[in-house]
Copies of this chain bind each other. A is one copy, B any other.
């Protein structure tokens, strides 16, 4: 598919959206032009055993108040920001990027596009989702909806309690991720974020974190460690990213839900 075809489509879509906004007497575009019957939880529960990139516990728990003594209970938590199902804000890979509390709320509610590479990931744990996969998705499903979050589905979420979520048999990082050709294409489209059901936006065998180093500094965000993408259609769901709001954060554990 040619890039100028995409551009014409986007121009047309922009005009249509502007018309709709005028009709409704508001400048905001619809964020959810559907009714929803079901909430699908795209978040893993997590604790100190949840796999992390550096292999150290991503969270630790300590009681700070206890029922028997205080009449209520609560924990003091030590959390490394990029733990569990979590968001990468631009600030994670750029000194002057947006922090997690600075992301526009409108960008946290997005049409969810799912691109499935499960079969390929069975053959090659480090397979990358490339531009050709996006073009194939568009050929089959129509254009990427405006302001979409594009997620890769690799079947990896089912491995989250096993060493294979992170490593191959030799103990080397091994998991699918986005290739830079894909995120370069997505940057020319009206997209807000990418998501993966693995430990990282880049594949396990990435030497240069090319996607982290280009997508995030460009001001878009990523979600790592998505769960339950298998329960959703490849188009038509809306994702809601409950990103944390600690000031100046580079990201952090997020509650991610889908409405379908």
Contacts and interface: CB of A to CB of B under 8 A. Distances in A.
A252 B79 CA distance: 12
A91 B73 contact: yes
Given A39-B106, A79-B79, A80-B74, A242 B259 contact: no
Interface string A29-72: 11111111111110111110000000000010100100100011
Nearest to A38: B28
Contacts of A8: none
A39 B31 contact: yes
A249 B74 CA distance: 8
Given A72-B93, A242-B240, A259-B109, A81 B85 contact: no
Interface residues of A, number: 70
Given A242-B256, A246-B253, 5 more contacts: A28-B37, A32-B35, A84-B245, A109-B257, A242-B243
Given A41-B105, A105-B257, A245-B253, A35 B33 contact: yes
Q: Which residue, of A29, A72, A91, A256, has the highest number of chain B Cβ atoms within 10 A?
A: A72
A240 B258 CA distance: 11
Contacts of A76: 78-81
A135 interface: no
A13 interface: no
A194 to B, nearest CB: 17
